Amino acid sequence: MALYRAYRPKTFEEVIGQEHITKTLQNQIMNGHIGHAYLFTGTRGTGKTSVAKIFARAVNCLDPQNGSPCGKCANCLKLQNDNDINVIEMDAASNNKVDDVREIREKVKFMPVDVKYKVYIIDEVHMLTDSAFNALLKTLEEPPKHIIFILATTEVHKLPQTILSRCVRFDFRLVSVKELMAHLEKIFKREKIECDEESLKLIATAGEGSVRDTLSIADSIASYCQGKITKEETLKILGTTDYLLNVEFFNCLKEREVGKMLALIDKMEKEGKNLAVFAKDISRHARNLLVVKTCENANEILSLPDDAYALFDEQAKLFDEKDLIRYMQVFSSAENELRYTLSVRLLLETTCLTAMSGEQVKKN
Ligand SMILES: Nc1ncnc2c1ncn2[C@@H]1O[C@H](COP(=O)(O)OP(=O)(O)O)[C@@H](O)[C@H]1O
Ligand SMILES: [Mg+2]
Ligand SMILES: [Zn+2]
């Protein structure tokens, strides 16, 4: 099982880096001052869903410990089942229509079963359509006593003011490298994975403040290193791709050499390279070429070695600005998906082919 699934926190104390939120929620549980609409915002993998689920158990727990669910009472045991009917998770990205929200409005009339509160967790709530927002608003205006809404989003600026004003808002922070390192260290100890301090730091830094990203990077490095993580191997897997490889890859894109490109991807995978990191490197290379192409003093911005700069300068001439911008978009959005998909290689290959075919369409 992937580390980020195996280590989903079960109490507020186990959540790292979000004390400003967990303390407040624990106090609310202890004082019995529970709200009916919460909004959780923040980057992916910082704990929104985890905290929502802990809260759903805590409000129903028969014997809360310091505001956290006890994990032992009948209600805690019942709600540990992810399919329990009292905790309803809805992904607004795929259920964004007004009918989906109307269905919620119908269902909130029913009482919780065996427990005190029914909790609706609506993820990626910014994806709702305008009419769905309006329907939701009606429910938020007068929520039944036994219902709690937890809305979660990575893009809070897309929410209408009317929704914002009806929710208690909590902003999840990016988690610091120091906290991530301590967290990784604990997990590695339990998993009996050896890892030196420098590699810990490298991995924690690469996670860029997201606990989930940090754990999935750790996963790929640990499985490559087979239980003993060294700095050399960590650097090799994390390290930005050799710039010559990026240049070669872009030549393939330009010349539409499908076979050669697939062979390059194969080579990287065999070397244990994290393909999500590769997608990021590719997006960055496109950006570097764009800088070379459009900026007066490009190398003051890029600080590349002379021979690399000369190569980039040469290559930049082969591409339109529009194509470079498109590559930046295609590969940076793929980077995110690549971290979570199970068929990493297939997705990367598809992305590359899409990037290529855009070019073909343009020429015709
Ligand atoms: N603050 C955190 N503390 C501990 N683990 C976390 C935290 N945030 C995320 N994780 C890890 O990442 C996984 C996914 O987190 P999740 O709560 O679904 O994030 P989000 O909903 O913000 O995208 C969890 O199962 C856990 O392993
Ligand atoms: Mg989530
Ligand atoms: Zn309990």
Q: For residue 72, how far is its CA from the centre of ligand 3 (angstroms)? A: 5
Mutate to test the pocket of ligand 1, among 15, 44, 50, 181 (most ligand atoms within 8 A of CB): 50
What are the Cα distances from residue 119, in Å, to 176, 187, 327? 30, 30, 41
The CA 69 to ligand 3 mean position distance, Å, reads 5
pLDDT in tens, 122-178: 999 999 988 889 889 988 988 889 999 999 999 998 999 999 999 999 999 999 999
Distance from first CA to last CA of the chain, Å, rounded? 47
The CB density around residue 245, as the number of other CB atoms within 10 Å, is: 18
For residue 8, give the ligand 1 atom closest to its CA.
25
What is the average pLDDT across 193-215? 92
**Collapsed DSSP state (helix, strand, coil) of residue 154:** coil
Residue 50 Cα: closest atom of ligand 1: 17
Query: In the beta sheet, which residues pair with residue 37?
Result: 149
The DSSP letter of residue 233 is H
Average model confidence (pLDDT) for the chain? 91
For ligand 1, is residue 54 a contact (CB within 6 Å)? no
* Domains observed in the chain: 3-171 (3.40.50.300), 177-238 (1.10.8.60), 243-340+349-358 (1.20.272.10)
Query: What is the DSSP secondary-structure string of 62-131?
Result: SS-BTTB--S-SHHHHHHTSTT-TTEEEEETTT--SHHHHHHHHHHTTSPPSSSS-EEEEEETGGGS-HH
**Ligand 1 site, residue 44, Cβ cutoff 6 A:** yes
**Residue 359, pLDDT above cutoff 80:** no
Any idea what the Cα angle at residue 9 is, between residues 190 and 183, rounded to 5°? 50
CA atoms 63, 66, 72, 77: torsion sign: positive
What does the pLDDT look like over 240-279, one tens digit per residue? 557 788 899 999 999 999 999 999 999 888 877 788 888 9
> What is the CA(189)–ligand 3 centre distance, in A?
28
CB of 212 within 6 A of ligand 1: the answer is: yes
Of all ligands present, the nearest one to the C-alpha of 5 is 1
Out of 8, 68, 126, 190, give the residue to mutate to test ligand 1, the one with the largest number of ligand atoms within 8 Å of its CB. 8
- Does the beta carbon of 166 lie inside 6 Å of ligand 1? no
Per-residue confidence (pLDDT) for residue 239, from 0 to 100 = 66
What band does 362 get if pLDDT is binned at 50, 70 and 90?
very low
Ligand nearest to the CA of 67: 3
Contacts of 6 (CB under 8 A, 6+ apart): none
Reply yes or no on whether the pLDDT at 224 is more than 90. Answer: no
pLDDT exceeds cutoff 90 at 236 = no
> 211 CB under 6 A from ligand 1?
yes
